[in-house]
Structure 1
Amino acid sequence: MKSFIMILLTFSIDGSVGLKPLLIEPKAKVEQDVFSCPKSCVCQYAAFEKLPIVRWVKHYKAIGGNKDDYSKLTKLATCLLQPNGETQKLLDSLPSDLQALILLYTGGNQENKLSVNASDFGRLQQLTSLEFRGPGATMVIDEPMDFLQHANFEQIQLHASDTLQRPKFAKFPSEDYDYKPPSELLSYNNKYPLQFINSSAEIITYEQHIQRLKRTRMPCFYGWSRLEVLRIHNCDLNELHWQMFDGLTHLRHLSLEGNNIREIPPFAFSGAFQLKSISLAHNSLERLHYFGLAGLLQLETLNLSDNQLDQLSELSFPPLPKLLMADLQGNPLKHILPATFWVMNATRELYIGSDKEALNLRTWNFYGQFDSLHKLRTLKLGNVTTEALEHGVFMGLHNLECLTLRGTIKSLQFDVFTGLNMLRELDLSHCMIRELSMDALVGVKQLQLLNLSYNNLTNVPPGLLDDQLELKEVQLQGNQLTFLPLQFFNLPRVRVVRLDQNPWQCTCQMSSWVAHLTNVMRGSMKEICVKGNDNTLSCRNVTTYKIDKTLAPRCANYNGRSVYYVLRRQINCGAIKIIQPSYQSPGLPHWRKVQLQGINLRPMNRNQQNISHKKQANSLLFVTGQDKVLSKSQPSSLNIFNNI
């Protein structure tokens, strides 16, 4: 290391200038580990969190893994494979301590085929992540890759070598499995015989020979003992066998999307009993039997979306005590039979529905279709088709917080959401709803968001929101509403009331409408921090709201002008006099409403009518000049209020 001499100018008190040599040692040069790289590869050090495979690794790492591993530098090579290139020579030229490898093949036609053996990676014993992509490529599994932790195969063919040593087991997994649903499908055992072919027999049938040959060519991952993530997408892996994943005790995430899989054979994944997530989306599954997913007692996420399932019953699922999320969207499900979800008591999220077929929601002999999902938080149902959504369908969902329905639901009956005491968000938009019962939301007292937009509603019944004192957002845009009940805006916590895209008939009755509620939309979350007395910051996320004048409701009877412009410039309603009622009702229960309706049906004598008119003048909220019109058009609603 060389030293450098710098000349320091010094100034004395008498003004003379002197020269003083100053010796400075240079900083040590940072050594960089630059490794050799083949010409068709790009080699670099990259943070593990930047690797494509991490998108799926994080899925289970976030549940309990070590997140610090993401920031560690990984020795990565990305190689482009040529149709006529020497793949073995390329792999041999890679550094032996490589940790991540991405192979991309772009041959893609019948003439240019590329075949790579698993044994070709034998010298890369420190390799933990392997990605192999490209149509026209084949990977032959001739020996286990016991050093891999993450493997991703896309659009390639996977075959097993004839020389691959497969495990020999003495018994089928069913011998240790004793679960049986309340009713058994007897024909199932005829379709899936639960026994092994006797390999010691000297003479076998032709059908047995074909089945044995198929199993020989199937890829087998036995011996990949460190594997944690395995993705096989669009690889035409259309047939599964229970030995394929046997022995993968460290496997946490398995994704087999887009492989045209038609059936899940018995105990297909029982050898990987520590699995936390399975994705079989975008396949061709036509039926589910509980033997197919048997043994997955640690499973937390199940994705069966975009298949061909048309019915679910108690024979569909085995016990899944830790399942948190099940995605069944995109399946043409018509019926959900009773006891389907009795073995999924821990589930938090459930998604069902498809545009291919209408989903029939109904009760079955006093049993709801979701009555065992006591811990469910989110339920999304698509393409629900029914004349009336009846009481009891959502029975047992005591902890449900978010409910979303799509489809064709002409009316909501009374007490249809009874029992959903924790419901915070109810989305019934795009359901073609025509009629609402005034008691449809009775008991749903924690509701904060109600979305009834883009339906066919022509009126909102009085008292619909009597119980919803926590309501913050109401969306009614895109309906056929012409007026609202007088007390509609008496919601203490409401911040957003969307009323645009309705043919409003503007009158002075709308004088109680509030522009800063209707001309506003919800924005993004914002963090607000407050410093306490001890100088510590206390932060929380709050919802922001922003004004948008394009959302203003408009009058169909005044050439589409804004409601507030018409009230201010074109209608002379006079001064608005608002009298607060002497008793603020917290919301009437259903039995009280029925009782009051019964009282109003009784004939009143002349003295009672006079008393009623006096109470009316002292307690109701009236807009000056409209009291006579309202008293004639809505006598029952006025009398009910007076008797409170």
Structure 2
Amino acid sequence: MLSVSRLIKVLIVLLLCCQLQSALPQLDQQPEATVELDVLSCPSSCVCQYAAFNELPIARWVNHMTNTDASDDASDFLLATHIKLATCLLQEEGETQTLFSALPIDLQALILLHTGSPGSQLTVNTSSLRALNQLSTLEIRGSGTTTLNIDEPLEFLQHANFEQVRLQASERLQRPQHSKLPSDNYEYKPPSDMAGNEATPKYQLKFEPEAAVEIMSYAQYVERLKQTRMPSFWGWSQLEVLRIHNCQLSELHWQMFDGLTQLHHLSLERNGIEELQPFAFSGAPHLKSLSLAHNTVARLYYLGLAGLLELETLNLADNHLERLSESSFPPLPRLLKADLRENPIMYILPATFWVMNDTRELLLGSKLAALELRSWNSYGQFDSLHKLRKLSLGNVTTASLEQGVFKGLYALEQLTLRGNISSVQFDAFAGMEQLRELDLSHCGIVELSMDALLGLKCLEQLNLAHNNLTHVPNGLLDDQLRLEVVQLQGNQLRTLPTSFFQQPRLRVARLDQNPWQCDCDMSNWLPRLTNVMRGPSVERCVRDINGEPMLCRHVASYETDKKLVPRCANYNGRSVYYVLRRQLHCGAPLMLAPSRGHSTRGLPHWRKLELHQQQQHKLGSKKKQHSHKKQRKSHLAQRNNLEHILKEQQQKQQNEATSAQSDGQKMSNEI
């Protein structure tokens, strides 16, 4: 019997490890915590141990949800304490009550795994767990035939995780007697629904009519709850984290989460949810993160998310949304991150994000439908997101990326576009002076305006890889004095402007996978720039006399890879540097120093050319004037020389005549 007990415990540990791997595949592996087995009061089908709270799947999930660049409180949920954990394997219906009675009374975390046969049924009543009144974390992972019957509230529970478990409420469960749908106290309406409102845009916008929202009376809703036996977490007053995944919770109602004033993190992924009922989450007004990913929500109406004034992270990825308008979102004044990827969104109408003024990160795009980028009169699609730092748009479509599409994104630092963009026109990124990373790879770009990047003075990374570019315009990078990385691989480039390598901070220039036509104009190309790639950032510290770090910072690393060398299409694919050195014999490379004059910085390239021509014309006229003056001076010099000679001759003649006269007078006096 002892050997069987040990075997069961080993199987439980192995199964728990597998569950951890499948539950959080996107997270990095964490170091294993020190484990102490409690062999005094642990049932034979359980493993009892002291484990780090951060190692629990529920804790790792919360840390993953809150670990965003925009959030300053990413590590608030990390706890260094160890808690008493029991992991139990359930197989038969009748053993649950006996198992719970044998568990240690001071248990703090409980994980229940149902691994019975496909036809086996297992029901767990919440009332059977009330004896474990020190329990703070509960996880139940079923096999599709597991049922959690909520017959009594667990008011002491703080973290709950249910996976593949059918949730149902008992008929004897007490519900709030005087609950009232909060629609009467909610005053917000979109501008299009308020006639004569001063917030109405200058140009009247036309929106598609929204379907009427059905709001039932309380008596009708109670009757519906009795029929469907929907679960309710009323009375779970200490609950902070609630995770319900793949539990067939397809319908939501506003009473389900009523009274959860301490709830901060809620996840309802993979439940087949089709629609968000009005005020579905109003009972948890202090939610910070909400995940509705991997459901079938096809329509967003602002009442569905109404009341979440403290929400910071919203995940609606992998749903069926096709359009967004000003009627989609309620005011979300503290929202930092919104993930709407893998939704077939084709249209984003103006004023959609006017109620999300504090958002820092926005993710959009799906392979199922292309998002149209455009502007309406003086309104853009993102013109109210003044604090947005990161914008990622996948599968966009536009004939030409023009001015006004990204109007209002003054604080944007990272912009990523994917899809079908034929050309990028002048001033397409006007006003985005804080942009550091611009990724336009895999967009099918054929043409770039010479002033496409005008105004991006803080740009550090530019990615134009895998497009259809045949040339890089002169002056394209004149305004980018902080540029460190340029990626142009995978295009149809044959030549580059001679000023391309004049960037003062350039560290990486990816030029491979292009049909280069090599000649001696490439003499200033440098292998230390073209044969490297940017690696992960590394930490560098200034240490004191004892070797302890004092001041640390993360800096980018660069790795050399000879496979990245650009090659000549007109020399059978040989390396550019081999051709320059062995076949063209171009001699020493031409070193081009960057211009010291900064008076033309920020001007369009055509204006720079015009000023250059004017300077050349002025220089030519000055040369002509100088030559004319020189000729005149020489002529005057020659003329002055002749007059001087004539004067000398006249003076000599006068002197001779005077001396002859004086000699004759002297002779007559002597006679």
* TM-score bracket, shorter-length normalisation: 0.7 to 0.9
Superposition TM-score, scaled by structure 2 size: 0.80
3-state DSSP of counterpart to 2:371 = coil
**Is 2:601 the counterpart of 1:588?**
yes
Is the contact between residue 482 and residue 502 of structure 1 (CA under 8 Å) also seen in structure 2?
yes
Q: CA deviation at 1:226?
A: 0.5
SS of residue paired to 1:213: helix
Deviates more, 1:83-92 or 1:160-169: 83-92
Shift in Å, 1:189: 7.6
Q: Which runs of 5+ in 2 are unaligned?
A: 1-35, 194-206, 628-671
* Aligned CA distance change for structure 1 residues 284 and 587 (closer, same or farther; 3 Å): farther
Equivalent residue number for residue 72 of structure 1 = 81
Which of the residues 552, 560, 566 maps onto 1:539? 552
Q: Secondary structure at the match of 1:79?
A: strand
Structure 2 match to 1:344: 356
The answer as to 2:496 corresponding to 1:491 is: no
Q: Which residue of 2 aligns with 1:567?
A: 580
Larger mean Cα displacement after TM superposition, 528-537 or 380-389 = 528-537
Displacement after TM superposition at 1:250 (Å): 0.3
Name the counterpart of 1:502.
514
Q: Which has the larger radius of gyration?
A: 2
Q: What does 1:602-617 correspond to in 2, within 5 Å?
A: none
Q: Does 1:222 align with 2:222?
A: no
TM-score of the superposed pair, with normalisation by structure 1: 0.84
Per the alignment, in what secondary structure is the counterpart of residue 156 of structure 1?
Answer: strand
- Contact 1:466–1:587, Cα closer than 8 Å, also in 2: no
**Aligned pair 1:114/2:136, yes or no?**
no
User: Is residue 2:462 matched to residue 1:440?
Assistant: no
1:250–1:108 Cα change, 3 Å = farther
How much has 1:314 moved relative to structure 2?
0.5
Tell me the secondary structure at the aligned position of residue 512 of structure 1: coil
Partner of 2:154: 145
Shift of 1:196: 1.3
Question: What per-residue deviation string (whole Å, max 9, x for no partner) do you get for residues 580-618 of structure 1?
Answer: 47744475333573364488599989966998xx9xxxx
Q: Is the 8 A contact 2:38 2:49 kept in 1?
A: no
In the alignment, what sits opposite 1:368?
380
Q: Which residue is equivalent to 1:530? A: 542
**Contact in 1 for aligned 2:123/2:147 (Cα 8 Å):** yes
Judge conservation of contact 1:467–1:586 (CA < 8 Å) in 2: no
Aligned twin of 2:320: 308
Report the Cα offset of residue 558 of structure 1. 1.0
Mapped to 2, the partners of 1:166 and 1:405 lie a distance apart of: 49
Equivalent residue number for residue 38 of structure 1: 43
What amino acid maps onto 1:40 in structure 2? S
Separation of aligned partners in 2, 1:32 and 1:253: 31
Q: 1:257, 1:421 → 2: CA distance?
A: 38
**Does residue 333 of structure 1 match 2:345?**
yes
Question: Which of 92, 97, 111 is equivalent to 2:106?
Answer: 97
CA distance in 1, matches of 2:75, 2:496: 55
Are the counterparts in 1 of residues 533 and 561 from structure 2 also a CA contact under 8 Å?
Answer: yes
Q: Contact conserved, 1:108 with 1:134, CA < 8 A, in 2?
A: no
Q: How far did 1:60 drift?
A: 5.5
Q: Find the counterpart in structure 2 of residue 322 from structure 1.
A: 334
d(CA) in 1 for partners of 2:392 and 2:186? 33
Residues 191, 562 of structure 1: CA spacing in aligned structure 2 closer, same or farther, 3 A cutoff? same
- Correspondence 1:463-502 to 2 at 5 A: 463-502=475-514
Please point out which of 169, 180, 188 is paired with 1:160. 169
What amino acid does structure 2 have at the position aligned with 1:379?
A: L
Matching residue's letter, 2:104: P
Task: Quote the offset at 1:156 in angstroms.
Answer: 1.1
Distance 1:125 1:197, change over 3 A: closer
Residue 387 of structure 1 and its aligned partner are, at CA, apart by 1.0
Contact 2:466/2:488 (<8 A) preserved: yes
1:293 to 305, 309, 316: 305
Specify the code of the residue in structure 1 equivalent to 2:405.
V
Contact 2:400/2:424 (CA < 8 Å) preserved in 1? yes
Post-superposition CA distance 1:172-227 (Å, at most 9, x none): 2011111111013997684322x51447xxxxxxxx7973434x510100100000
Separation of aligned partners in 1, 2:583 and 2:248: 69
Query: Unaligned 5+ residue runs, structure 1?
Result: 1-30, 200-207, 615-644
Match in the other structure for 1:408: 420
Aligned to 2:646: none
Confirm or deny that 1:134 pairs with 2:142: yes
State percent identity of aligned pairs. Answer: 60
**Which of 168, 172, 175 is the aligned partner of 2:184?**
175
Find the aligned partners of 1:60 and 1:418 in 2 and give their Cα distance.
32
Distance (whole Å) between structure 2 residues aligned to residue 610 and residue 576 of structure 1: 32
1:93 partner amino acid? A
Instruction: Give yes or no for contact 2:155–2:235 (8 Å, CA) kept in 1.
Output: yes
1:39 CA drift (Å):
1.2
Are the equivalent residues in 1 in contact too, given 2:43–2:102 (CA < 8 A)? yes
DSSP-derived class of the 1:557 partner: helix
Aligned partner of residue 339 in structure 1, secondary structure? coil
Deviation at 1:531, TM superposition (A): 4.3
User: CA 1:572 to 1:585, structure 2 compared with 1: closer, same or farther past 3 Å?
Assistant: farther
- Structure 2 counterpart of 1:342, one-letter code: W
SS of the counterpart of 2:79?
A: helix
1:54 has 2:76 as partner: no
Residue 38 of structure 1 and its aligned partner are, at CA, apart by 1.1
Shift of 1:502: 0.7
Q: Deviations over 1:134-158 (max 9, x none)?
A: 2210111111111110000001100
523-532 or 245-254: bigger deviation: 523-532
Aligned to 1:390: 402
Structure 1 partner of 2:214: 192
Q: Which residue of 2 aligns with 1:513?
A: 525
The secondary structure found in structure 1 opposite 2:523 is: helix
What per-residue deviation string (whole Å, max 9, x for no partner) do you get for residues 336-389 of structure 1? 001000000000000011000000010012111101000000000010011111
| Secondary structure of 2:502's aligned partner | coil
CA distance change for structure 1 residues 180 and 42 in 2, over 3 Å: closer, same or farther?
same
Q: Does 1:245 align with 2:257?
A: yes
Partner deviation per Cα, 1:214-245 (whole Å, 9 max, x = no partner) = 4x510100100000000000000000000000
Give the match for residue 435 of structure 2.
423
More helix by share: 2
User: CA 1:435/1:108 → structure 2, altered by over 3 Å: closer, same or farther?
Assistant: farther
Query: How far off is 1:543 after superposition?
Result: 1.2
Q: Is the 8 A contact 1:60 1:253 kept in 2?
A: no
Q: Name 1:632's counterpart in structure 2.
A: none
User: Do the aligned partners of residues 583 and 126 (structure 1) sit closer, same or farther apart at CA in structure 2, a change above 3 Å counting?
Assistant: closer
Measured in 2, the distance between the counterparts of 1:432 and 1:242 equals 46
Q: Deviations over 1:475-508 (max 9, x none)?
A: 0011111110011000000100000111111111
Letter in 2 for 1:47: A
* Structure 1 residue 52, shift from structure 2 partner: 1.4
- What secondary structure is seen at the aligned counterpart in 1 of 2:88? strand
- Whether the aligned pair in 1 keeps the contact of 2:59 and 2:77 (CA below 8 Å) is no
CA separation of 1:98 and 1:581: change in aligned 2, threshold 3 A: closer
Letter in 2 for 1:593: W
In structure 2, the CA distance between the partners of 1:460 and 1:65, relative to structure 1 (3 Å rule), is: closer
When structure 1 is superposed on structure 2, of 571-580 and 398-407 the one drifting more is: 571-580
